[in-house]
Structure 1
Amino acid sequence: MPPFGYKTETSGAVEKKEKPLPRLNIHSGFWILASIVVTYYVDFFKTLKENFHTSSWFLCGSALLLVSLSIAFYCIVYLEWYCGIGEYDVKYPALIPITTASFIAAGICFNIALWHVWSFFTPLLLFTQFMGVVMFITLLG
């Protein structure tokens, strides 16, 4: 009998293949639906349009979000699809921290810019929008 924690050779031969989760599941459907509901009930796009020119925090957040999305598209479209570099985080280790930092800074700027509209609900609303967009993107790829 093998020591505790070791597998015998026969137990390793009977491995089950795990099925990948479907792209549209309850979790992703919930976030997409919640994002749609939030967008509709708080007049999200109307509020963004009204605050676009009045707040420098909003413009700063938009610029930081554009930086974050540009780096993300560079990694996905150019490095992974065009150049075939699957592990771009190993070859270019600074890209992921820069993208993450700019995205977090953009979120902070958007929270400050829209705080006067929704008060303490602002982080919750923006997080719901973020999760809805992320889950929708996962459906595409």
Structure 2
Amino acid sequence: MINKKTNCKINSELERAILKEKAKGTPDIKIGNKYGVNLKYIERVITKAKGINVSALKTSKEIRTLHPKDFQEERTTIWSFKSRGNWATHSGEYRGNWSPYIPRNVVLKYSNPGETVLDYFCGAGTTAVEAKLLGRKIKVGLDTL
């Protein structure tokens, strides 16, 4: 039987290992498979260690380019993006942040410059950033409609 002190040490080592993997950019699913934990556990570890306030991140990003290099709009319904994207203000640091290639493709396919894009989830701002970069107006949230 494992006592509480030993169990606490094991959990602490596991949490450090998970945070180390995240710092290397390892996807959550691979971390889960490697350490036998679910995505909810990984989220709790990251939230406990980093907090949930995106503004509290200690690193700032120097903007080097406003658009992705060699971007081509997707032409099929099966999309696969090997890299997450790091142009403009995008950063993979925040775990709720999705690949900016996704909203970029959707905005290009379903709107024209000058039109309004509704970002009703208004999470990390990925959709809003892409809409602005592509010359669209942005409406964030449903409460102001």
Whether the TM-score (by the shorter chain) exceeds 0.5 is: no
More helix by share: 1
TM range (shorter): under 0.3
Structure scoring higher RCO (CA < 8 A, sep ≥ 6) equals 1
